[in-house]
Amino acid sequence: MQQRPLGRTDLRVSRICLGTMTFGEQNSEAEAHAQLDRAAERGVNFLDAAELYPIPPKAETQGRTESFVGSWLRARGNRDRMVVATKVVGRSAMTWFRRDGSEPRLDRRNVLEAVEGSLRRLGTDCIDLYQIHWPDRPTAGFGSVPTRWTAPDPVADEVAIAETAEVFADLVRDGKIRHAGLSNESAWGTMRWLSLAETGVAPRMASVQNAYNLLNRTFETAQAEIAAREDVGLLAYSPLAQGYLTGKYAGGALPTGSRKQLFDRLQRYEKPGTAEAVDAYVALARDFGLAPATFANAFVLAQPFVAAAIIGATTITQLDECLDADAVVWTPAMQDAVDALHQRFGNPAP
């Protein structure tokens, strides 16, 4: 599989990254290991986890995903061949992440406790890419790339980016993390981090992990230029729009074992106009002779500002369809057809 540089770091990562948020909820440890084995066999060297995972977040399962990834790394003895990424939660009302039961913030105490927990569960002494899952400050919408601006209510105890940046700089200095990255961040937030890096306060952010797919191309409006000019590549999550772009929910279908059937947490992709757009993109994929999941992932991989697409699956069959995108030759005809549909539908599910 093709590898790409991650930002301006010395890391080279497979352009498909295996997302792991199903490990520990929808997938057992054995199933997680089987997915990791298949991904590695097909050239994936990049794994993404989070202290939050698995999804949906619950006190009784929190951290299980990292533990499953860690047990696989130990069993296969391949830690030196894998690029391991994980995340610290941002401001949250969930109280089970910290030992004292407090609500997480991105201050020194919280970040240091979080990184030590992730290192322990992953069974490693250094995390290759440590990401901020979402900002401490309130934002206009999760992912910070809304199509309409809504002013968020400020909070009195907001942790300044500069304060968090100093902690991350110390983690790099102490060898706990190699590089840092952002997630669910805006263009302003990304540039703020880069400005702090220029003054030596913060490590330079290598990447930003935001939602990006055929139904949500809002990253292109401001952040794509940052990604291209500043080498802060997009790690695109939800390339299948939480499964909608596979077509499995078409016509109101509710497959047994699907995330919608189990958890009913897919409202981000159930907004007005989204169903029509999904049907059109699924039909387009089939017109080009590709499985819809393969086509949707291939679109993401083809965009020049994308460092990697983060795929997720619960079965090996699903995983293979996503991995097949690596072999697709994305043509100008495909891009033109996608852009024509985007002109009609815009971004119905930001």
Whether residue 194 contacts residue 220, with contact meaning beta carbons closer than 8 Å, is answered with no
Of 187, 167, 186, nearest in space to 177 by CA: 167
Q: Can you tell me which residue has the tokens 């937030």? A: 189
Strands in 214-335 per DSSP E: 233-237, 306-311
Strand-strand pairing, 12-14 and 3-5: antiparallel
Whether residue 21 contacts residue 50, with contact meaning beta carbons closer than 8 Å, is answered with yes
- Choose the catalytic residue: 53, 212, 244, 281: 53
- Residue 311: what are its φ and ψ, rounded to 5°? -95, 160
The two tokens of residue 5 are 């540089």
Q: Which helix (H) or strand (E) holds 277?
A: helix 274-287
Q: Exposed, middle or buried by CB within 10 Å (0-12, 13-18, 19+), for 156? A: exposed
Q: Give CA–CA dist 211/143, Å, rounded.
A: 7
Q: Give CA–CA dist 66/190, Å, rounded.
A: 26
Our answer to whether residue 53 is catalytic in this structure is: yes
Of 252, 245, 278, 249, nearest in space to 344 by CA: 278
Active site residues: 53
